[in-house]
């Protein structure tokens, strides 16, 4: 995974609450065999609305999405995170997320920033015409107008994002412990080796 320290640029001021994973990526895209290319199906139902933000050229390739409460609720499909990464989104700002989505986001290199509703409202306003900056080193979101909002994040998750560490890589670094466990369990329960 690419390490992320800062995400800067335009932010799509979506603002809606309860955006579920069916909205992020509809079920008929689940038959895919790769993580790539899902961006074309992302937010399909919203894109069907005339004049929607996702088709507005000024937000083309925007790296940030701003949403309302409970972002990513519904089915656990990891395709939601893959679809957003494929669109180029690497940070989301919202007052809250579903647990599964925020876990999937971090696993796939998306920063899920939690800010109170009033901060989100201000950012929605600014994002209409100006870029914003999510800084993971300082845990702040800033605008060109002196706004500075601090957020907190689980230190393990933050380290993973900053270091571009994937969980698989971290566990593989514990290889000796896994091997030791296998030797011991294999001696106690030899029938496990299939």
Partner 1 sequence: MSIKPRTLYEKIWDAHVVDRRDDGTCLIYIDRHLVHEVTSPQAFEALRLANRTVRRPDLTLAVPDHNLPTTPRQDAAGNRLPIEDAESAQQLAALEANAPAFGIRYIGATDAAQGIVHVVGPEQGFSLPGTTIVCGDSHTACHGGVGALAFGIGTSEVEHVLATQTLLLQQSKTMEVRVEGTLGFGVSPKDVILHVIGRIGAGGGTGYVIEYTGNVFREMSIEGRLTVSNMSIEGGARAGLIAADDTTFAYLKGRPMAPTGDEWDKAVAWWRSLATDPGAAYDKVVVIDAADIAPSLTWGTSPEDVVPITGAVPDPMSFADPSKQEAARKSLAYMGLTPGTRMQEVAVDNIFIGSCTNSRIEDLRAAAEVARGRRVADNVKQALVVPGSGLVKRQAEAEGLDRVFIEAGFEWREPGCSMCLAMNPDKVPPGQRCASTSNRNFVGRQGPGARTHLVSPAMAAAAAVTGRLADVRDLMGASA
List contacts with partner 1 (CB under 8 A). Answer: 30-35, 76, 78, 82, 100, 104, 107-108, 156, 166-169, 171-172, 174, 177-178, 181-182, 185, 188-194
Q: Which is nearer to partner 1, 96 or 104 (CB)?
A: 104
Cα–Cα dist 182/184, whole Å: 5
Using the CB atoms, write b or e for 134-169: b if 16+ within 10 Å.
bbbeeeebbbeeeeebebebeeebbebbeeeeeeee
Helix (H) or strand (E) holding 94: strand 91-94
| Shortest distance in whole angstroms from residue 74 CB to partner 1 | 11
CA–centroid distance for 192 within its chain: 38
Q: Minimum distance between the CB of residue 51 and partner 1, rounded to whole angstroms?
A: 28
Name the nearest CA neighbour of 11 among 48, 53, 47: 53
Give CA–CA dist 12/132, Å, rounded.
Answer: 10
Q: Residue 81 CB, nearest distance to partner 1 (Å)?
A: 9
Nearer to partner 1, 60 or 168 (CB): 168
Question: Taking the complex as a whole, how short is the minimal distance between the CB of residue 8 and partner 1, in angstroms?
Answer: 27
Which of 49, 182 has the CB closer to partner 1? 182
Cβ 167 to partner 1 shortest distance, Å: 6
> 104 vs 143, which CB is nearer to partner 1?
104
Say if CB 54 and CB 95 are below 8 A apart. no
Shorter beta-carbon distance to partner 1: residue 146 or 189: 189
User: Nearest 5°: phi and psi at 97?
Assistant: -135, 160
């Amino acid at each position: 995974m690419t390490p992320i320290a800062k995400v800067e640029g335009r932010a799509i001021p979506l603002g809606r609450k309860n955006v579920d994973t069916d909205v992020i990526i509809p079920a008929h895209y689940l038959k895919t065999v790769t993580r790539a290319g899902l961006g074309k199906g992302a937010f399909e139902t919203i894109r069907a609305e005339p004049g929607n933000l996702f088709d507005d050229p000024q937000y083309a390739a925007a790296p940030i999405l701003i949403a309302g409460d409970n972002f990513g609720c519904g089915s656990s499909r990891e395709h939601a995170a893959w679809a957003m990464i494929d669109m180029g989104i690497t940070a989301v700002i919202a007052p809250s997320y579903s647990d599964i989505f925020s876990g999937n986001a971090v696993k796939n290199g998306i920063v899920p920033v939690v800010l109170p509703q009033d901060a989100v409202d201000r950012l929605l306003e600014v994002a209409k015409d100006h870029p914003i900056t999510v800084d993971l080193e300082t845990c702040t979101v800033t605008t060109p107008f002196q706004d500075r909002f601090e957020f907190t994040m689980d230190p393990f998750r933050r380290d993973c994002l900053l270091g571009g560490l994937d969980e698989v890589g971290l566990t593989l670094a514990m290889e000796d412990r896994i091997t030791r466990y296998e030797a011991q369990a294999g001696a106690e329960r030899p029938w496990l080796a299939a």
